[in-house]
């Protein structure tokens, strides 16, 4: 019994375990995991993923998105802001404020209002009341 157990356990069992574990299992683990898996992961991560990230994200973000943003922001938006705000809006404000508003203020307030006030004050001064 001891001979058979020792022979079978030490010989076939240990040999099979060593052969299977060291050979097939380690070979499979090393070969598949380290080779195919790492190679595929590296190839996928470095190749496709990085290429996609670099190509698409950088290309899209830097190229199209930034180009669109630059084109829109610098072109249309700034042009609109410059054209509308500086041109029409400021021109309108200048024209309205400096022209009509100031002209109205100068003409009505300084002219009619002050003239009326001066005339009224003069007509209703103490001196005029004393004469009456």
What tokens does 1 get?
A: 């019994």
Which residues are CB-contacts of 122 (< 8 A; sequence separation ≥ 6)? Answer: 128
Q: Is the pLDDT of residue 84 over 70?
A: yes
Other beta carbons less than 10 A from residue 53's beta carbon:
12
Q: How confident is the model at residue 82 (pLDDT cuts 50, 70, 90)?
A: confident
Mean pLDDT of the chain: 78
> By percentage, how much of the chain surpasses pLDDT 70?
94
- Segments making up each domain of the chain, as ranges: 91-132
Residues composing the chain: 132
Per-residue pLDDT of 19-70, as tens digits, reads 877 788 778 877 887 788 778 888 887 778 778 877 887 788 778 877 887 7
Q: What pLDDT is stored for residue 72 in this prediction?
A: 80
What tokens does 107 get?
A: 């003409």
Other beta carbons less than 10 A from residue 29's beta carbon:
13
């Amino acid at each position: 019994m001891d001979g058979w157990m020792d022979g079978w356990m030490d010989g076939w069992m240990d040999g099979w375990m060593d052969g299977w574990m060291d050979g097939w299992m380690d070979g499979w683990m090393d070969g598949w995991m380290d080779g195919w898996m790492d190679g595929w992961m590296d190839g996928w991560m470095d190749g496709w993923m990085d290429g996609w990230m670099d190509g698409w994200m950088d290309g899209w973000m830097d190229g199209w998105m930034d180009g669109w943003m630059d084109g829109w922001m610098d072109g249309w938006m700034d042009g609109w802001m410059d054209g509308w705000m500086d041109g029409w809006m400021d021109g309108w404000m200048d024209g309205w404020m400096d022209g009509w508003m100031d002209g109205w203020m100068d003409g009505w307030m300084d002219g009619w209002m002050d003239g009326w006030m001066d005339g009224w004050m003069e007509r209703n001064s103490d001196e005029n009341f004393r004469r009456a």
